[in-house]
Amino acid sequence: MLNLCKYLLISFTLTLTNAALAQQTDSGIPLDADWKQTVYDFVKENQQHTAWGLQHSERDYLLALELGQQEGLEIDLDVLFAAAFLHDMGAFEPYSERGSDHSQVAADSMAEVLESTSFPMEKLPLVQGAALAHMYYSAVPDEPHAQVLHDADTLNFLGAVGITRIISLTTREGMAADLPTAVATLDNMSQQLPASLVLETSKQMGTQRSSEMRAFISSLREQSAQGAAL
């Protein structure tokens, strides 16, 4: 009887542990509210893409959170989660068919996902503002969530991860119509994007990631007859 009780206790503990482990994303972001699980499942099902899909959203969230911590900013995790995971929904069907810039489409459409959940809808304007400002070319308001998401999203176009994202688009997008075009895009991004960063911590990261990209491009050109054999 004692052994049976011990077995049941161990089984119960393992069940609780496995349930706790399941309540997070692959990168360890807590899914500690029902609405977060719903949003995560929505993105996982509808936004699979090598450059701006689910994993990109996870990276944006984690880096934005790090930037906020480094800068001493007050970040609402509900706002950051919703913004990081839904900011690119306007790039995917059926939302992409609405014809506007994907940032605007996302801001206009995200309520459709959130309003049927337990998400605190009074926070929606902050989520929309962050989505509107997330692209490197966007105007960024003096608002912490918009700033950290904008800089995280921009930094995700730089460094090793930026290289991987653009190369993954080769033959699929105009910015990477072929390998020489993809490399030219990387070159332009390494030079132009750091200037669009807002926060001091981001600027330091941008300098490092830009140097990383330029070193890669230099090595690639050396190994491909200055790009003629790509």
Predicted confidence (pLDDT) per residue in 94-144, tens digit: 999 777 899 999 999 999 999 999 999 999 999 999 999 999 999 999 999
Domain segments of the chain: what residues? 30-137, 157-230
Q: How confident is the model at residue 179 (pLDDT cuts 50, 70, 90)?
A: very high
**N-term to C-term CA, the chain:** 71
To the nearest 10 degrees (0 to 180), the angle between helices 200-222 and 179-192 is 150
Residue 49's alpha-carbon distances to 39, 43, 94, 197, 228, in angstroms, are 17, 10, 15, 25, 29
Residue 1 has pLDDT above 60, yes or no: no
Give yes or no for residue 212 having a pLDDT over 60. Answer: yes
Q: Please, are residues 64 and 22 in contact by the beta-carbon 8 Å criterion?
A: no
Closest-CA residue to 85 (of 149, 23, 147, 21):
149
208-219 mean pLDDT: 98
As its CATH architecture, domain 30-137 has Orthogonal Bundle (1.10)
What is the model's pLDDT at position 22?
57
Please give the residue that has the higher pLDDT: either 198 or 3: 198
Answer yes or no: is pLDDT of 15 > 50.
Answer: no
Q: Report CA-CA distances (Å) from 117 to 5, 33, 35, 149, 210.
A: 39, 10, 5, 23, 40
Task: Enumerate residues 6+ apart whose C-beta is below 8 A from 93.
Answer: none
Q: For residues 36 and 126, what is the distance between their CA atoms, to the nearest angstrom?
A: 16
Cα 75 from chain centre: 16
Q: In the chain, pLDDT over 90 holds for what percent of residues?
A: 88
Task: Give me the mean pLDDT over the 188-203 stretch.
Answer: 98
Amino acid found at 172 = R
Is the pTM for the entire model greater than 0.85?
yes
- Please choose, from the candidates 121, 145, 140, 156, the residue with its C-alpha nearest in 3D space to the C-alpha of residue 49: 156
> Has residue 205 got a pLDDT over 70?
yes
Quick one: pLDDT band at residue 18, thresholds 50, 70, 90? very low
Model pLDDT, residue 39? 98
Q: Provide the pLDDT for residue 2.
A: 43
